[in-house]
Structure 1
Amino acid sequence: MPDAPVSLPDGGRGRLRELARDGFLLLAAPGADVQSLARCAAAATPAPIRGLEIMAVDSDGALAAALKSEPGEVWLVRPDAYIAAALVEPSADELATAIRRAVGATAEVTVAA
């Protein structure tokens, strides 16, 4: 994941990697329901989940430009700031599958939307 400058939730400025350190980060382009996806992700793993809209943290457009973000895209970012999955308008099951892969799980999990 590019370590772009971002606006932090507390109003300060920082780097994207600061936002990704505390569990999984769902970074959503416009058109993706990040809050609903975060709830689905939380049901798929006991790991902490943070859901953020790119536009809420990308004050200068550097992150959206680096990702070449398109409407409805969602990035699942691991705590080490590597992209675990890039999904387009994912369903709850698609997101759960991506999380399972990211944590190395093999059991099938179905998440209700």
Structure 2
Amino acid sequence: MLISIKKDALNDPKDKFLFRPETLSSLRKIADHGHNLMIEDEAISPQQKEMLEQEDVPFESNGKFDYELSAKDEKLEIVQDSKSILASDSWEAIVKFFTLEARKAYLER
């Protein structure tokens, strides 16, 4: 699964040169669960790119993505096929969405 992460989801709204709080650790957790991350080169500064590399957060520059992560009104938002799937104030719900397995139940008679 490829997740496109937009500039507004990465950058702190108060300081365009810094990541939002918990961004690096959250991206690492998502990547550790086998998901690929896509961050366009123009979305991050050279310093931010260096930080991602230092924290060993793998990412691609392009590709066909399954989900898009952006920010709207300071909330992080997961979008799939132009439909909002989840909006959250923090990375915690975003990480859970991508890392927790969906439980499926069925009834047999």
Higher strand share: 2
TM-score interval (norm. to shorter): 0.3 to 0.5
TM-score, normalised to structure 2, is 0.39
